[in-house]
Chain A
Amino acid sequence: MTDLKFQCIIIMNQVFKKMINHIELIQKLLQQPSAELLRCVPNWNIDEIKNLNYKFAPFKDEMLVSQYAQSGHDRSKISVYNYHEPNEMPKFITEHVKPRFDFLDKVCAAFNYFKPGQYLPPHSDLYGKYMQLYDVHPKNIVRCILMLENSCPGQILQIKDSTFGSWKSGDCFYWNYDEIHAFYNFSMKDRYAIQITGVINEKSK
């Protein structure tokens, strides 16, 4: 009888833990953007995107890069290739992508890609040029990464405590201004994305 009671307590404990996990999951989902903000239906020519005039861009936080380099990282790999305004943007940015971000003001788009072996380890974005151009308080900035191709094994995105290793073309990932995030391209393929920056507008607050 004592054994039976003990087993019942264990089972109840397991059920209780599962319920807690379920509640936590729902809470987490409610804090995230709604599903329609999590995906942008692909409507772009990937070859056009791959042919943009990208520039090699080492990460600009020199102190952080030095810390990573001193701990053993290869400084040259802590970088990305990007293509941004005022360069001319492909038509689909104004016609298809920016309209989806109508909950943001001062929307700015940039393309980036990571070659195999390139990565940006955990960091906060600096928004130097964006703040200079738009005169916004950094606390109101939201950033989104819109993936332009399906992921392949080894491509990894981290945002705060969450890690993503799989996505479909058109999937969007968000973070607020200084939230820690990282991207690693441990695959054998380049990873292309659009980086959207904006501030939440009044009607969406």
Chain B
Amino acid sequence: MINHIEPNWNIDEIKNLNYKFAPFKDEVLVSQYAQSGHDRSKISVYNYHEPSFQKDD
């Protein structure tokens, strides 16, 4: 298992990628969290991924 990769990237390049807002896709689970008091809009992430990458999480 890999525990660490020596940093060798330009963080500014990464920060400038064209991220899209992505609410979590498990609507049933998000509804449960929202009903218990969480803010639905905060259960989300921004991502930028390969075209072929099927993102499930």
Contact = CB atoms under 8 A, between A and B. Distances in A.
Nearest to B35: A188
Q: Tell me if A's interface is mostly helix, strand, loop or mixed.
A: loop
B32 interface: yes
Interface stretch (A15-23, A37-45, A113-121): A113-121
B39 A189 contact: no
B42 interface: yes
Interface residues of B, number: 7
A74 interface: yes
A100 interface: no
A37 to B, nearest CB: 33
Interface in A159-196: 186-189
A166 to B, nearest CB: 20
Interface string B20-34: 000000000000110
B38 interface: yes
Chain A interface residue count: which class? 10 to 19
A116 B39 contact: no
A56 B52 CA distance: 48
Interface in B7-57: 32-33, 36-39, 42
Contacts of A123: none
A84 interface: no
Contacts of B38: 116-117, 186
In this complex, the member of A77, A117, A118 whose beta carbon has the largest number of chain B beta carbons within 10 angstroms is A117
A117 B32 contact: no
A74 B39 CA distance: 9
Contacts of A117: 33, 36-39, 42
Contacts of A189: 36
A116 B42 contact: no
B5 to A, nearest CB: 18
Contacts of B39: 74, 77, 117
A26 to B, nearest CB: 23
Contacts of A118: 37
Contacts of A186: 38
Nearest to B40: A117
B42 A115 contact: no
Nearest to A189: B36
B15 to A, nearest CB: 15
A74 B42 contact: yes
Interface string A104-126: 00000000000111100000000
Interface of B: 32-33, 36-39, 42
